[in-house]
Amino acid sequence: MKAGKATGLTKTALVATVLLFAPFAFAGPSVSSPEMKTALAKAKEGPTELRRYVQRTRTIYGLDYFEVMSVSEAQQTASSGDSSANTQVAAK
């Protein structure tokens, strides 16, 4: 009987450990998902609008404010880099 209790406690400890670290393994939505597209549109409206959207939908979509802002800034940098490259080509 003692072996059965030890096995049961081991299983319980394993389940508790998995449940404890499960939130850290959660990945947010991809950039092409509808909720991320909406979040990026809110980021274009301003940081306050994005913060409100993320707080309002955090339990549904699992968005992170800073992640959305970094993706938004990366997209803006890429689009401004493309436009400056087009301007340089047009100037030649």
Entry pTM: 0.59
Which pLDDT does position 13 carry in this prediction?
72
Model pLDDT for residues 38-90, shown as the tens digit of each residue: 999 999 999 999 999 999 998 999 899 999 999 999 999 998 876 655 555 45
Question: Beta-carbon neighbour count of residue 76 at 10 Å?
Answer: 13
Identify whether 22 is part of a domain: no
Which pLDDT does position 46 carry in this prediction?
95
User: ∠ CA(18), CA(24), CA(30), 5° rounding?
Assistant: 125
Domains identified in the chain, total number: 1
Which pLDDT does position 1 carry in this prediction?
47
Identify whether 8 is part of a domain: no
Arithmetic mean of pLDDT, 7-34: 69
Identify whether 32 is part of a domain: yes
Which pLDDT does position 22 carry in this prediction?
55
Identify whether 51 is part of a domain: yes
Residue 34's domain comprises 27-91
Identify whether 18 is part of a domain: no
